[in-house]
Amino acid sequence: MEEPEKLIKAIQLGDEKAFEKLFYEHYHKLYRFCRQYIFEKEIAEELVQDVFIYIWENRRSLIISRSLSAYLHTAVKNRALNYLKSKYAREKPQPLEEGLITSLSETEESSLDQHQLHQLVQQGIQQLPERCRIIFTLSRQGGLTYDEIAEELSISKESVKSQIKIALQKLRAYLKEYWEIWLIFFLNN
């Protein structure tokens, strides 16, 4: 029996030391992997910890039919994607803050600072229709490919392409004269 299989068997029998070993061997790797999807440090930590909690709480019925590493990475990826879907589905578009509009008009002669530009872009993204916003965020901020998004949301790749196109058109309209600055900013980050 291979080492990972022995480790899982021990965990299934309630061996806390085996569980600690699993945690310490895989936590940092899984955390870094989760950060590819989730940019908030605390949320990524929480999602990875949730996977380990799930394993411990369900240890008696736990069945891992492929490699342990693949199982853990898939579990973390699914948690991250579910979080992104629920987070962005819950968020409602926010109107532009009056202070931001004023500060933008005052800086027409000079370039926007990155913080203001980032705020403007985020507000533009929040104005997108719900499904469009989720797909755009999974693509641009989550780093998923069109195929991965299509599979995750159970839609066609063409629907993903269409929604990304709609998102970009709406963002262009929203950002108007700041579009070129936004594009430079977005491509450099």
Query: What pTM does this model have?
Result: 0.52
State in words which class domain 3-89 has: mainly alpha
Residue bearing tokens 């962005």: 88
pLDDT at position 180 is: 55
* Residue 168 DSSP SS3: helix
Domains 3-89 and 94-188 equal at CATH topology level? no
CATH assignment of 94-188, among 3.20.20.70, 1.10.10.10, 3.40.50.2300, 3.30.365.10: 1.10.10.10
Which band of pLDDT confidence, cut at 50, 70 and 90, is reported for residue 48? very high
Report the half-sphere exposure of 106 (CA within 13 A, side-chain side): 8
The percent of the chain in helix, strand and coil, each rounded to the nearest 5, is 75, 0, 25
pLDDT at position 94 is: 45
pLDDT tens for 51-98 read 999 999 999 998 888 788 889 999 999 898 888 877 655 554 444 444
Domain parsing of the chain, residue ranges: 3-89, 94-188
